[in-house]
Structure 1
Amino acid sequence: MSEAAQKKRRVFTGVDSSGAVPVEYRFSHARGGNRHLVVVLASRHAKSGYGWADGHLDALRSNILWVRDLVDGTNTYHLCRGMDFSLEQSVAGLVSNVMNALALSTDQVTVFGTSEGGSAALFFGLKYGFRNIVAGSPQFLIGSRVRESNPEAARMMMGEPTDHNVRLLDSVLPDLVGSGANPSANVYLFTSPRDDQYQRQVEPFIGHFRGRENFNFVYNESPLITDAGKVTRHNLPTLMGLLTLLVDGIAPRIGMLRNGHEDPKRDASAIDAFLRQTAQVRGDSFPKPVVRTPSPEERLPANAVRFTGTAVGAVRVSFWEDGAYRGAAPVAPDGTWVWEHTSPWAKGRHVIRLFAADANNYQSKRVEVAFVAGEHAYAATPEYEATPQPSMPAQQLALTVTAPAAHQQLTGPAVGFAGYAPGAVRVDFHEGGAALGACEVRPDGSWMWEPGWPWNDGDHYVEAIAVDAVGNVSPWAAVPFTKLGAYPVPAQGVYFNSAY
């Protein structure tokens, strides 16, 4: 499995109907047995009602619970419908059910959100006693905010957005913070004066946190922040670093931090001149490498792709794909070079960027070459060589895989393969273009392959092909399956459904 596939988290979706209001969620298990839960509360503009579900949190080792904030198509701050706060209690019940299923305490939970989700993170974190609270650009006067900027949410949350109902919702968060609830919580509040809501929605309430053991205020004055939406994006590295520390049980004390010392109008002529003079890429004086093969968009067997060309004045040519290093080829004294990848290519279109480098590691400009990798080219190997019989028609091989079943979910750790391939002498196995192994076919046409290693958790797409004694091959057979981890049994009322 590729490194990117290993980093991608498996996500489950479900509905917790144990409370008065069904609550939709997404969930991803921790890596490496981490004993922490990050609860992500969505904002108004979150895609599909789930906040921070775009991959930014994939590197966290913790369990992650995304709570959807989309009731009848509109936002609710996870609080109420028609001033009925049973929605809030149902959201809290979902978090509690997941905690119980994972055997975690409130000290092992971080609630996180931005904008409307930041308000919800403060509310749930303080009211329900969670240890860590990370809130970006929250709004404290919730009733006023929704009545002025989100009429649909105002009607959903209040029924009628009367002055009385607005005042009541406006008081929910300030009163909770001012009451000193959950005084030992680690609170991290990110904001900026360039948020158009700052002076009304944040600044008047900072004093409510006075006296707390660990209140941390990150105040960003960067001129690059021009609206509320950019407050979070500008602080993204800090946010991700903070969440990583909290997941590892480290709660840094920041106190009051003012940042944003950017000077976009500074004179950069001196550094620009230095960079030009010392540039590693010497496009004007160092010719680009010439690629002779493959030709543009050429279709080639995935295990028979060969690059050739010339690179005048270079000592090596370097090959990259999607920003990842693939390999390098030495340049002969006459300027020619040849390169073949160490393993078969994944099927499909590939765009390779290459450049030449000299003995001082100065580089040429980049060249791109695209090709399409198709079916593998097979030839008889010494182990299975047989006397060719040209007069005989090619044998039509058929490969059947009986185990595992397509899309079967397996607990492992070992996963065995079995099936039939009458007339073949072996079956080869590949995943992602890389050879995994092979097994012999018995005289009755049956075969069985035991890889001999534990499979990584997650989805796998193995391809198998049968080969006879003279090199004839069967069509490729796909073997998709899922290797499950040791998942805990969910609490009653929480339904885990596999979805991606």
Structure 2
Amino acid sequence: MNEQIFTASNGIEVIYRHKPSKYDFKHLIVVFSGFLNATPGNYDFINAMTDCPADVIWINDNFQGMYTYYLCIDMDFRVKEAVQEFIQSQIDQRNLSPENVTFTGFSKGGSAALYHALSMNIKNIVVTVPQLHIGNYVDNFWKSVATHMMGKNYHNAQIDYLDKLIVNLLKKDQDLDKNIYLLTSEADIQFPTEIQPHLDDFRKYRNFNLLKTYSAFVREHNQVTSHHTALLLGIYYALASEATPRFNQGEVNFFGTQPIPKPNVANPTPYVDVRNCEYKDKILFIEGVAVLKGVHISNYSDVQYELILQNTRTRETYTKGLAKLHRPHLTRELFDGDFVIYDKGYFTTLDLKGIDISDLPKAEYQLYIAIKSGEYYSKLALSSQKTLTKSSDTFNFNSNSSLAILEIFKE
């Protein structure tokens, strides 16, 4: 699935990837991606949908190096025109009807899927936690995207225009024979503003399905999609098989087992996993997971980390402070039967600026981490679940399931 480029008649290039259909399946799924990094390049669900029997096309929201919601740059909607021209060409090539096409996306991608599906009268729409008020959202949370989409000196009228794009399409749409699946959660901070006010506009469709999760593992916006991958794949597979799902008179409420957070255990088991390490200009960048399994780390104040570097020859040690990052997916990733919150169990460097280790002579060092959480303390060798190797002309770093070694060549 190499990247390919479609050049629209207006000169805009659409970057995409394509997975062909299998056997006799005649269905096209178009995937619009959400935010991932500061700049675009991601393709959501590309691994999860590898075995899907339908044709799947992932469109990259990379237009002049920045996200656009697949819509516009400086309020010029040639991106929208190019995206729709590309999609229509793919539909025409396969001689598909709207019934054999599904648009899907997650968060920003859900917004784009909704907008383009309603604009092009696509029958099947599968979206999770979309923003319906795009202008306000990017203005408040993604300034780089806001200026890219609306211009450096954008104003309230442009924000309002983007806010109404999807809302107006929903209100005006009279083709109600659509299959719409909206996965969301009241735990999502965006639910009261982006979803709830518009549910009546969705409910007019003949097969609208509101899928709400109340899972204990879904406590934030970016946890909704990943926790229900199986449900989403089931919908895609069913649609590709010409078996249109209809759920419980249009509403599903997933509660799961509602596990109760367990009290901290008496003898927690330390767990570490170095995820990345770099060294440049006497600055060390290192990050990963470090928790005492069975001890809750709900707040930043619940845990403190220190990095310890021990010279393997002289045994001299150097101690450096570490910072923490909010990574709520860890609670789900580390779940082993007891519900323990590990949201803040990710160590990194302060402000992601690295650690000055210019006071360390060139030598080989074994790395340790000290974890203090309430009354619990543990010092253990850093290690990684997967072998991690980094090197340059100034350093070597090697980490495995037993230890992590940093060798500095130059002072």
Structure 1 or 2: more helix by fraction: 2
What letter is aligned with 1:238?
L
Q: 2:163 aligns with which of 165, 170, 176?
A: 170
Q: Is the 8 A contact 2:63 2:79 kept in 1?
A: no
Return the alpha-carbon distance in structure 2 between the equivalents of residues 24 and 181 of structure 1.
Answer: 32
Is the contact between residue 36 and residue 42 of structure 2 (CA under 8 Å) also seen in structure 1?
A: no
Unmatched 5+ residue regions in structure 2?
Answer: 264-411
Out of 36, 53, 56, which is 2:48 matched to?
56
Aligned counterpart in structure 1 of residue 203 of structure 2, from 195, 210, 231: 210
For residues 412-455 of structure 1, the C-alpha deviation after alignment (integer angstroms, 9 at most, x for no partner) is: xxxxxxxxxxxxxxxxxxxxxxxxxxxxxxxxxxxxxxxxxxxx
Kindly report which structure 2 residues correspond to 1:472-487, keeping only aligned pairs within 5 A, or say none. none
Question: Larger relative contact order (C-alpha < 8 A, sep ≥ 6)?
Answer: 1
- Counterpart in the other structure of 1:287: none
Change (3 A) 1:187 1:261: same
**1:149 alignment counterpart:** 141
Is 2:265 the counterpart of 1:264? Answer: no
Q: Distance in 1 between matches of 2:216 and 2:45?
A: 28
- How far residue 181 of structure 1 moved from its aligned partner, in angstroms, is 4.5
Matched residue, 2:113 = 121
Superposition deviation, residue 242 in structure 1: 0.8
Alpha-carbon displacement from aligned partner over 1:305-346 (angstroms, at most 9, x marks no partner): xxxxxxxxxxxxxxxxxxxxxxxxxxxxxxxxxxxxxxxxxx
Decide whether the 8 Å contact of 1:192 with 1:221 is kept in 2: yes
Instruction: State the Cα distance separating 1:124 from its structure 2 match.
Output: 1.1
Alignment TM-score, normalising by the size of structure 2 = 0.60
Structure 2 equivalent of residue 17 of structure 1: 7
Question: Any idea what SS the aligned residue of 2:130 has?
Answer: coil
Q: Distance in 2 between matches of 1:164 and 1:34?
A: 45
Distance 2:13 2:114 in 1: 22
Residue 31 (structure 2) pairs with residue 40 (structure 1):
yes
Give the distance between the partners of 1:200 and 1:97, measured in 2 at CA.
35
Structure 1 residue 51: Cα displacement = 2.6
Q: Is the radius of gyration larger for structure 1 or structure 2?
A: 1
Alignment of 1:333-412 (within 5 A): none
2:34 touches 2:44 (CA, 8 Å); kept in 1? no
Q: Supply the distance in 2 between the matched residues of 1:28 and 1:97 (Cα, whole angstroms).
A: 16
- Mapped partners of 1:186, 1:192: distance in 2: 20
Superposition CA RMSD, Å? 1.8
Secondary structure of 1:88's aligned partner: helix
2:242 partner letter: G
Aligned to 2:225: 232
Could you tell me how far 1:13 is from its partner in structure 2?
A: 2.4
Aligned positions, number: 258
Q: How far apart in 2 are the matches of 1:48 and 1:33?
A: 34
Q: Distance in 2 between matches of 1:212 and 1:155?
A: 35
Distance 1:53-1:216 versus aligned 2 partners, 3 A rule: closer
State the alpha-carbon separation in 2 of the partners of residues 242 and 220 from structure 1. Answer: 16
How far apart in 2 are the matches of 1:96 and 1:211? 26
| Aligned position for 2:79 | 87
| SS in structure 2 at match of 1:49 | coil
Q: Distance in 2 between matches of 1:145 and 1:52?
A: 20
Q: Which residue of 2 aligns with 1:450?
A: none
How much does 1:109 deviate? 0.5
CA apart distance, 1:266: 7.8
Give the secondary-structure state (helix, strand or coil) at the position aligned to 1:215.
strand
Residue 186 (structure 1) aligns with:
179
